[in-house]
Amino acid sequence: MERVCRVVGKLKVTTDEQLAQAAWAQAVGKKIAGHTGNISLVRDRLVVEVEDAIWQRQLFTLRGQILARIEQVMGRNIVRELEFRIAIPRRAPQREERISADDADAIRDPVLRNLYKAARKRAIA
């Protein structure tokens, strides 16, 4: 019960869903919590997003232990079921690639670039 008071005191938790989200990391540990994403409470079911099917399968086999631990951390029985969903992979921000209209711009040597452009111009004409 002491852990719940610390979690609730630090995060100013007001709803059951916020309490369940705060208790998740405490219940499963930092390593497992690092491989999970969004957590939401739907009625009495805690829906947790996981990285892939392997994590989904592993956590599904541990659901009984996790439920008992969540109840212990929260101090009351709000969560009765766990559902693990595979999260949609998020793309990391990527650098913009400048697309050149002229493929000759990729040639770094200015003399060779000019020779290439002149040869290309003769071939087209």
Look at residue 94 in the predicted model and tell me its pLDDT: 80
Helices (H), 14-102: 16-28, 30-33, 53-61, 63-74
Return d(Cα 33, Cα 30) in angstroms, integer.
Answer: 5
Domain ranges for the chain:
2-86
DSSP 15: S
Say if residue 8's pLDDT is above 90. Answer: no
What digits encode the pLDDT tens for the residues 48-94? 999 989 999 999 999 999 999 999 998 888 899 999 999 887 777 78
Interacting residues of 74 by C-beta distance below 8 A, sequence separation 6+ = 4, 19, 20, 23
The answer to whether the beta carbons of residues 28 and 34 sit under 8 Å apart is no
The CATH class given to the 2-86 domain equals alpha beta
Higher pLDDT, 123 or 11: 123
Q: What is the radius of gyration, based on Cα positions, of the chain?
A: 27
Say if residue 115's pLDDT is above 80. Answer: yes
